[in-house]
Amino acid sequence: MRQSQFWPACCTVTCARALRHGNSRLGKNRTEQGEGVFVSRSLTRTTPRETDLRYDELASGATVWAYQGNPFGEQQPTSTAGYVLNLRYPGQYYDAESGTNYNMFRTYEPATGRYLQSDPTGLDGDISTYAAVSNSPLNRIDPDGLRDIFVGGFGDSTSQIVQSYYANYALTHPDSAYYQWTQQSAIEADINSTPAGDPVNLIGHSYGGDTAAAAALHTCGRVNLLITIDPVSRWHYRGMQNIANAVNNWVDVDAEGGSLFQPSNFIAGIGGAWDGAPNGIANTYIQDDLVNHEDFSQMMNASGPGVMSPAQVLSRAQQ
């Protein structure tokens, strides 16, 4: 059983704005009846898989609203004391008149288990042809019940450093996706439309690491594992602690090997490498003194005594 709390303390103004629907605020939720907290619990190992959400009143600790149902979200919630909460699966807001769930980018119809509009991520020109993004939740459930998202860095469209790693990965992980570093909004839409029971693992390289971290911040608590492989764009001044708070587990690799004038190291330096900024804040920080910035696959396997590599952590996240 996996238990996690939605919209934790990492919820910044930006994040609240991104996830706010109507008059309902996320994180600590204040209604006319008082303040409470929204809790999600996904029973990922049951058949059929069930997901439940509940709203606990902070003062009494009592559950005053609950939603439990199948992956399609067909069931209606139960409530006491007249609580009305129209939040459904992550990012969805229930419209009583139409019986559909509004999802920021499109509308989800529980009765058919389909979105009424095409997947906005599928319309993005750069997305990989085998990203396997679908508008049906059934196609989002794979044997390991995960959503693994890879984000390539600047120049990955030509070098295909991450893309080629992903091409092999996707063979045995069909419910995974690849995006370019420029596709942050599509990544967030993908995360928000992933069923609550499917932990999201987000892996980004170079500028894609920065994009992945930004997406994790904006989707507040939806990313289970964040792997940043030698991220750059430090001038965004993302709060390292905020990133750590936004995800369940954060692994960062800092490439410190090779010459400063090796092309990929040079461009990483110019691009504002994060270097040791995540050190002491990320759950795992690995400084690899032997690799160049471009060697994504080598960094995925970087480890040390008692320290698991990103690939090992990703592998464990699938257990």
Partner 1 sequence: MIRSKLAATMALLAWSVSLTACAAMFSSGPKDIRVTSVTNVDYKDQAQFDWVSPAPRPSLIISRIDFTTDTDLLALAKKKDYNVTFAVGPCSKDGVKDNGTGLGGVYWGHVRIYSDTKDDPGYAAAAAKGPPFTYQAYIRKPQSNDAQGALCFTLAGGSMLGGKLRSNDAILPVH
> Tokens 């990922």 — which residue?
44
Q: Please, what is the minimum distance in Å from the beta carbon of residue 311 to partner 1?
A: 5
Q: Please, what is the minimum distance in Å from the beta carbon of residue 267 to partner 1?
A: 6
Q: Please, what is the minimum distance in Å from the beta carbon of residue 143 to partner 1?
A: 9
Q: Please, what is the minimum distance in Å from the beta carbon of residue 161 to partner 1?
A: 5
Give the residue with the Cβ less far from partner 1, 108 or 181. 181
Are the C-beta atoms of residues 106 and 120 closer than 8 Å to each other? Answer: yes
Number of residues that bind partner 1 (CB under 8 A): 44
Residues 122-181 that bind partner 1 (CB under 8 A): 128-130, 144, 153-156, 158-161, 163-165, 167-169, 171-173
**Contacts for 138-143 with beta carbons within 8 Å, 24 or more apart?**
138/71, 138/113, 139/175, 140/175, 140/194, 140/195, 140/198, 141/49, 141/71, 141/175, 141/195, 141/198, 142/173, 142/174, 142/175
Does residue 226 interact with partner 1 by CB under 8 A? no
Give the residue with the Cβ less far from partner 1, 153 or 278. 153
Taking CB under 8 A as the rule, which mask of x and - marks residues 248-287 in contact with partner 1?
--------------xxx--x--xx----------------
Give the residue with the Cβ less far from partner 1, 209 or 271. 271
Give the residue with the Cβ less far from partner 1, 51 or 206. 206
Taking CB under 8 A as the rule, which mask of x and - marks residues 18-47 in contact with partner 1?
------------------------------
Q: Please, what is the minimum distance in Å from the beta carbon of residue 160 to partner 1?
A: 5
Residue 29 CB burial class (10 angstroms; 0-12, 13-18, ≥19): buried
Are the C-beta atoms of residues 213 and 226 closer than 8 Å to each other? Answer: yes
Taking CB under 8 A as the rule, which mask of x and - marks residues 55-74 in contact with partner 1?
--------------------
Residues 284-313 that bind partner 1 (CB under 8 A): 291-295, 297-298, 300-301, 311
What values do phi and psi take at 313, rounded to 5? Answer: -65, -40
Q: Please, what is the minimum distance in Å from the beta carbon of residue 275 to partner 1?
A: 17
**HSE (CB half, 13 Å, CA atoms) of 289?**
1
Bridge partners, residue 244, by sequence? none
Choose among 295, 301, 296: nearest CA to 314: 301
Are the C-beta atoms of residues 68 and 50 closer than 8 Å to each other? Answer: yes
Give the residue with the Cβ less far from partner 1, 217 or 267. 267
Q: Please, what is the minimum distance in Å from the beta carbon of residue 308 to partner 1?
A: 12
Q: Please, what is the minimum distance in Å from the beta carbon of residue 135 to partner 1?
A: 19
Are the C-beta atoms of residues 298 and 205 closer than 8 Å to each other? Answer: no
Name the 3-class secondary structure at 14.
Answer: helix
Residue 158 CB burial class (10 angstroms; 0-12, 13-18, ≥19): exposed
Are the C-beta atoms of residues 288 and 299 closer than 8 Å to each other? Answer: yes
Q: Which residues bind partner 1 (CB under 8 A)?
A: 128-130, 144, 153-156, 158-161, 163-165, 167-169, 171-173, 206, 235, 262-264, 267, 270-271, 291-295, 297-298, 300-301, 311, 314-316, 318-319
